[in-house]
Amino acid sequence: MGGGNPMEKLAEQSQTIPSAAGRPNWLVRSWFWLVALLLVVAVLALAWWTQHTITTTVERQIRDGLTSTLEASHHAARVWFEAQQNVAAQFGNQRDVQDQLAALLSDWPSVESDQTDPLELSASVADSLQLTQTHLQASHYMLFDPTGRCIVSSDRDMVDKHCPLQWAEYFEMVAGGRTVVIPPDPSNRHDTVHPANGAEANRDQTRTPNIYVIAPVENAQQQVVGSVGFAADAANSFRRLFPVRNDFQWGETYAASAQAIMLSPSIYEPQLRSLGLLDESLSAPLNVPITDPGQQPLLDRAQLQSNQERPLTRAAAELALAASTSDSNIRILAQPYRNYCGIDVVGGVRWLPEYRFGLITEISHEQAYAATRELQSGLWSLLALLAIAFFGFLFEAKLSRTVLSRLKSTERKLEKMGQYELLEKIGQGGMGEVYRAHHSTLRRETAVKICRSGPDDTTATIRFQREVQAASQLNNP
């Protein structure tokens, strides 16, 4: 017979079958851990990108909100100041009133005169002044001679008093025919108009600061011979211009001078009084320096530094810098800092050179970034869940490999029948299955047939014995 021994062929074929244990399993394990490591890196990168995106988006929204608030406040201030100027200018356009005021000023003695009798206005002039005062929501009106001396006023205490030296620049503009608006002046905080003789003003220092609207008075030859002024309560005016709350909770917009003195009301006046930063009898305008108290509000008063020792807040320092260079650009302070009450805030400033004061808008840092903290909390919670799921997957994979290894070991034990180790199934028939096997003692491969029927099946057993006897008679020459 040709073709060689079938058992030798089976042995040769068995040498081409790769081992189940060896390099393939090592490669599987290596790829598994590489994929796991890449997955961890990808999740961490996604977390960082998401957090960065959230923070950037919230900061941009805060910047946009602060910028919009400052622009809206600037627009409101410009509209209000122009309205004040227009009302005062309309008063100046009344020719008959102008003529009477010019005549009154021409009859008024010089500064050197000792005349002190108050002048009486005609009913028509007084009514016109009162009407303009009402339109401007002013507390009183004043008539000034060319030297800035008040000769007539609805507030008797103002008569025969000079304007402060700081108004000289404004009166030069009035002498040129312009109507001007003068904001509160921190350098003259107790009394805007002082006595002509240079003595100290006898006014109560708690008097509310005013915003003044000054319009020129011209004679028939259109020469400026004096001016008329209207005083409006600065606190009420600024309160209408800058509401104590803006679009953000725990936020405010307020006016400040170049010397870092607050010009408008504060929403924190109760806290300022409890800290000892504001006297009980005073209001915030012209009485609150915009300095950093160095601590959170409502703490021990004894630990507070004096006004002279406290540094400016970051917003006040930026505003002072902008005022020194007449820079009207908006400056946003996105990093938290303490405001004049010791509360952590973010803010923005804008100097208004045309009005000689600036705007500061601030919002609580805690409220501003509340959305960021909530989103970050949700993100880290999601990452924690992913981490739990990932390590659970690794544990399950490890457990599965352990169980599979044990099953394979058990299977190998079951596949060994006596001195024969079953290697693979090579065929099957009606009675059973034929396996390629290895004889452990003779160290050679052989074929082993396993019957499906049990030992109780006599017919199948007899047939199997016949096959064994027939196979034993085979000879390979």
C-alpha to C-alpha distances, 154 to 121, 141, 151, 228, 283, nearest whole angstrom: 11, 6, 11, 12, 25
Confidence band (pLDDT; 50, 70, 90) for 246? very low
Rounded to two decimals, what is the model's pTM?
Answer: 0.65
> Across residues 8-12, what is the average pLDDT?
41
Model confidence at 438: pLDDT above 50: yes
pLDDT in tens, 79-132: 888 888 888 888 877 888 888 888 877 766 654 444 445 566 777 778 888 888
Question: Among 255, 262, 300, 258, which Cα is nearest to 278's?
Answer: 262
Name the range with the highest mean pLDDT among 52-66, 178-192, 286-300, 461-475. Answer: 52-66
DSSP 3-state helix, strand, coil percentages of the chain (rounded to 5)?
45, 20, 35
Question: Among 317, 316, 294, which Cα is nearest to 305's?
Answer: 294
Model confidence at 327: pLDDT above 90: yes
Tell me which amino acid residue 455 is: P
Q: What phi and psi values does residue 321 have, to the nearest 5 degrees?
A: -65, -40
Beta bridge partners of 227: 144, 216
Q: Measured between alpha carbons, how far is 140 from 156 in angstroms, rounded to an integer?
A: 10
How remote is the C-alpha of 223 from its chain's centroid? Answer: 55
Q: Measured between alpha carbons, how far is 45 from 195 in angstroms, rounded to an integer?
A: 72
Question: Among 49, 398, 80, 391, which Cα is nearest to 238's?
Answer: 80
Quote the Cα angle for 87-135-160, to 5°.
80
> Across residues 401-417, what is the average pLDDT?
69
Q: Residue 136, SS3?
A: coil
Q: Measured between alpha carbons, how far is 210 from 232 in angstroms, rounded to an integer?
A: 5
Tell me which amino acid residue 283 is: S
Cβ atoms 333, 318 nearer than 8 A: yes
Q: Which residue has the higher pLDDT, 313 or 4?
A: 313
> Across residues 207-236, what is the average pLDDT?
84
pLDDT in tens, 453-473: 766 677 777 787 777 777 777
Angle between helices 234-241 and 23-92 (to 10 degrees): 140
Q: DSSP letter at 419?
A: T
